[in-house]
Structure 1
């Protein structure tokens, strides 16, 4: 499976296309809305079945970044769910199917002068190039 991730100011999926505004940055601050644009290329043999995805924000030591949960505690910044990519009629045998995803985020309470990393997994599997690192001013 091939996954392309990009940090952006905003992103949107429309008619199967990924629209990215202000994409490709690696330094942010002060806290501002942001987005993660993903393009998941699902191999032919993994289409038409449910896959579980997860995106987690960790600090420079690899620990989950925690945020207030509104009830006096904290919770990790994690997103996830399931997806299933079907084969459109007429798709040549063996061709991967692209699935664009746009995740728009509210400003995150991140420490200044720090380094962070988004880690993406599918069915518990991750690869080095499925990570996005960035710093805060």
Structure 2
């Protein structure tokens, strides 16, 4: 299993499984942060199709302390008729994050865990700047 984690100012997942996002890939934010979305593309192997996986993200500061988290959700690994047999399938997931009051000058990371598994590259980080003036 692999995952790509991105931040966007806004976004949604449509019924066909396509992610629509604005302001994708930001890396700095004033405090408090604006509402934003965490986008995760999970690639599952053919052998994992038909399985459901719990997914959760936690926001940690530069010391590794948890400061926020998403509710646990579930992604369902399903095959669509267009996928060739044996090919991996990518499943998109989006979590809407409310505004957060964070410390200016601090670096934060959203770290994603899937089925209790977390990898060092399943994250999206950002630095907090001074608040809006």
Retained in 2: the 8 A contact 1:29–1:136? yes
For 1:20-39, list aligned pairs within 5 A.
20-31=21-32, 32-39=34-41
Give 1:44's aligned residue: 46
Residues 79-129 of structure 1: CA deviation (Å, up to 9, x unaligned):
322222111235322111111122222211211111111110111111121
Give 2:3's aligned residue: 3
Q: TM-score of the superposition, structure 1-length normalised?
A: 0.85
- Taking only aligned residues, the RMSD between alpha carbons, in angstroms, comes to 1.4
Take 1:77 and 1:16, find their aligned partners in 2: how far apart are those partners?
24
Aligned residues: 127
Is residue 2:105 matched to residue 1:95?
no
Take 1:84 and 1:104, find their aligned partners in 2: how far apart are those partners?
19
Retained in 2: the 8 A contact 1:58–1:64? yes
Give 1:127's aligned residue: 119
Unaligned runs of 5+ in 1: 66-75
Take 2:110 and 2:57, find their aligned partners in 1: how far apart are those partners?
6
1:78 is displaced (CA, Å) by 3.4
Give 1:13's aligned residue: 13
Secondary structure of the 1:127 match is strand
Unaligned runs of 5+ in 2: none
Take 1:118 and 1:45, find their aligned partners in 2: how far apart are those partners?
28
Give 1:68's aligned residue: none
Take 1:61 and 1:30, find their aligned partners in 2: how far apart are those partners?
19
Give 1:72's aligned residue: none
Q: TM-score of the superposition, structure 2-length normalised?
A: 0.87
